[in-house]
Structure 1
Amino acid sequence: MEKTNGESSFSIELKAKEYIKTINLTNGTSESVLVEGTIGQLQYAQFVEGIMLEVVGKKGTLRIDLSPEQIKNQNRLEVKKQ
């Protein structure tokens, strides 16, 4: 995964299709995309090479270009409250 224009990319790797709950490419009239599923019970989470957060579960792995510094500096970003 490579950052472009300051954006963070992600990947989801699942061990079986059955772990996908939802993939919705047309969410009403908007252009949004929804991907839901499970990576199973958490095995570990780590930063790989200091530039990627990797969350590994029994059923899959989630990776996102996110460094520890970005997490520490999140108070500088606007956080929307739900």
Structure 2
Amino acid sequence: MDKTDTQLLYIAAFRYALGRSTYMVPAIAGAIRESRDLLTDETARLMAREIVECKNLGMECDAAVWWDLAEFLLAGSDDDKR
């Protein structure tokens, strides 16, 4: 799988889980955290922006997971450092 396919896969999984109230929220957020080094900074910023702009992040426990992920993604390193 090339870099573009990897980005698309993570974005699709992220968008599937965003706003849902399901066990998938922490599962997907955890997978994104664990695989941050596979994501471009552009993809990380896109995900963080979509979290901020989302009108319904699910239940309170799900929203907390999303806010933590957005903070984590925005604190990431530059692509050049990877």
TM-score, normalised to structure 2's length? 0.21
Larger Rg: 1
Q: Which has the higher helix share?
A: 2
Which of structures 1 and 2 has the larger relative contact order (alpha carbons within 8 angstroms, sep 6+)?
2
TM-score, normalised to structure 1's length? 0.21
